[in-house]
Copies of this chain bind each other. A is one copy, B any other.
Amino acid sequence: MLARYQLFYWPGIQGRGEFVRLALEDAGAAYDHVARGSGGIDKMMAMMKGKSGNLGEKRPPFAPPFLKSGRLVIAQVANILFYLGPRLKLSPRDEASRLWLHQLQLTVTDFVKEVHDTHHPIATGLYYDDQKPEAKQYAQSFLKERVPKYLGYFEKVLEKSGGPFVLGRKATYIDLSMFQLIEGLRYAFPTAMRRIERKVPKVVDVRDRVAKRKGIKAYLASDRRIAFNEDGIFRCYPELDE
């Protein structure tokens, strides 16, 4: 029997949790999305306070998402994927390749933080409405410089690996993250992305291949995939687009 994983994340958004969910769904792994169930948010908060009565007691996560696998509680998206990779057959097994894959995923982490800051450049604790002019300024250089830089980097990595996937012939969890990045950026910045995508055809091709994978296709068609919305990381505020 497949291990049953427990994923802890905010119930109403894709957010950072989605990068983990895509891996679990692609692999057809059995998992519960705890905070979507009754009393789930209380359970999640108890884990973070170290008051859940299990290993989370001694090693509380700083923030969601986190994954419970047996007695282990693992937080930080890239760390969770590093752990899940070989178990879900979404990662090579040799140390050098695992570190390389993890390094790429950590670059995605950095990118995602910058995506988040397009609508929250001044403070996470303030509303978007309280930092709109700053968000506009931030988004301008984000779209002009940062998105082309990050996606251009992954395009170069694809050239060097020979593709069609980021690490080469076989898909790994970083490809699922490429899918999510392109989907999210298209939702948030459709105009800018039409321009930027022309420069990164290999990355876009990864997105297309991932969208056709059996587990992902089923997931996207299910009601488990929450739609993008303005509480998540990728938000559609037309005034921030080009």
Asked if A125 is at the interface (CB within 8 A of a chain B CB), the reply is yes
Asked if A122 contacts B138 (CB within 8 A), the reply is yes
How far is A109 from B76 in the complex, measured between Cα atoms in Å? 11
* Chain A interface, >50% SS class: helix
Residue count of chain A within 8 Å CB distance of chain B: 45
Least CB distance from A97 to B in Å reads: 9
Chain copies in complex: 2
How far is A123 from B142 in the complex, measured between Cα atoms in Å? 8
How far is A117 from B142 in the complex, measured between Cα atoms in Å? 14
Asked if A74 contacts B61 (CB within 8 A), the reply is no
How far is A61 from B137 in the complex, measured between Cα atoms in Å? 28
Residue from B57, B83, B99, B157 in contact with A99 in the complex, judged by beta carbons closer than 8 Å: B83
How far is A83 from B74 in the complex, measured between Cα atoms in Å? 18
Residue of B nearest to A167 (CB): B59
